[in-house]
Structure 1
Amino acid sequence: MSEEIQYEQKKQDPSLKLFVVLSKAYRSIADQVEADIRKKGLNPTEFGVLELLYHQGEQPLQKIGDKILLASGSITYVVDKLESKGYLNRVPCETDRRITYASISEQGKDLLHTIFPEHWKQIEHITDGLSDEQKLQAIELLKQLGIHANNLKVEKK
């Protein structure tokens, strides 16, 4: 098969097109969300940690990275910054000295109460390019794609 024919097949391959479009859409949305978070005095990782603690309660430091997709070495740095700003507290485990929990402080809760409603509106604005029905369809399709990709990862282990 000639290179020209292979190139034409690649151009028409919906898998490749989906990957490119999905990547570009993610980058555009992530850039908008990050800009909104930075306007509120946080970086996306700090916001992610606070949001996790707010919605799921105190968490072992060792588990936070897995839940917000952050390398474990970065957790200490982020937690240190948030603690120095007064947004969270470290809580030693009473039964295992090796475990320390992060817990959102009252000041952290107040911050989220202040910034989250506007952040939510910004996310709604960013995603207004789709109707609610289209958003629900996209959620289901992207879930299927993510589950399939995750299962491929598991198969290779």
Structure 2
Amino acid sequence: MSTPNAFKAVALEPSLATVRALVRAYQAFSSYSETFVRQYDLTSAQFDVVATLGNTQGMSMGDIGEKTLITKGTLTGVVDRLERKGLVTRETPPENRRSVIVQLTAAGQQLFTQVFPAHIGDIKQHLETLDASEMELLRVLLNRIQTLF
């Protein structure tokens, strides 16, 4: 049976503090990003799809799913809403009628060229407080953490 001291020891585990810091950093970035893209009447997931499709000839739903952080079940709804907003179209290639290609409309491409550079520029401005070696260390550590799970 666990004792209060055992719980206290677990609560003081250094890895827990690291995970908390990682989660808080993610939440802070996610909140910032959501607020930024809301100015353009987009959700983070919608922005992710628009950013992924920008400057391409379109992609299959499977490719979009692989390149974004959006689950397959959520992606269909996100693309549906972008289609209703007139930002994407779905086309079935004649050579593979089981596949659907999603591409930005002219309005979607225009939104991409407006929002994407602004968002990246804003992120860059926030991250410029880190020097090049800190940025590289952060990237390496985050990639390493990703491989652990």
Structure 1 length normalisation: TM-score?
0.81
Q: Share of identical aligned residues, percent?
A: 26
SS at match of 2:78: helix
* Distance in structure 1 (CA, Å) of the matches to 2:7 and 2:79: 48
Is there any run of 5+ residues in structure 2 with no aligned partner, and where?
none
Aligned residues: CA RMSD: 2.3
Q: How many residues align?
A: 149
Post-superposition offset of 1:58: 1.4
Post-superposition offset of 1:22: 0.4
- Is the helix fraction higher in 1 or 2? 1
Post-superposition offset of 1:81: 1.9
Q: Partner of 1:80 in structure 2?
A: 80
Residues 49 and 64 of structure 2 are in contact (CA less than 8 Å); yes or no, is this contact kept in structure 1?
yes
Is there any run of 5+ residues in structure 1 with no aligned partner, and where?
150-157
SS at match of 2:89: strand
Q: Which amino acid aligns with 2:49?
A: V
Post-superposition offset of 1:130: 2.6
Residues 57 and 103 of structure 1 are in contact (CA less than 8 Å); yes or no, is this contact kept in structure 2?
yes
* Distance in structure 1 (CA, Å) of the matches to 2:43 and 2:117: 17
Structure 2 length normalisation: TM-score?
0.85
Q: Which amino acid aligns with 1:133?
A: S
Please list, as runs of the form range in 1=range in 2, the aligned pairs for 1:4-153 lying within 5 A after superposition: 5-55=5-55, 57-149=57-149
Post-superposition offset of 1:25: 1.0
SS at match of 1:130: coil
Q: Which amino acid aligns with 2:91?
A: V
Q: Which amino acid aligns with 1:64?
A: I
SS at match of 2:41: coil
Which range moves more in the overlay, 68-77 or 99-108? 68-77
Which range moves more in the overlay, 112-121 or 32-41? 112-121
Post-superposition offset of 1:11: 4.2
Post-superposition offset of 1:7: 4.2
Structure 2 CA distance for partners of 1:11 and 1:78, relative to 1, 3 Å? closer
Offset from partner CA, 1:100-133 (integer Å, 9 cap, x none): 1101222212111112222112212333443332
Offset from partner CA, 1:35-80 (integer Å, 9 cap, x none): 0011122111111111111155411124423332323233232222
* Distance in structure 1 (CA, Å) of the matches to 2:70 and 2:120: 22
Residues 55 and 109 of structure 2 are in contact (CA less than 8 Å); yes or no, is this contact kept in structure 1?
no
Q: Which amino acid aligns with 1:82?
A: L
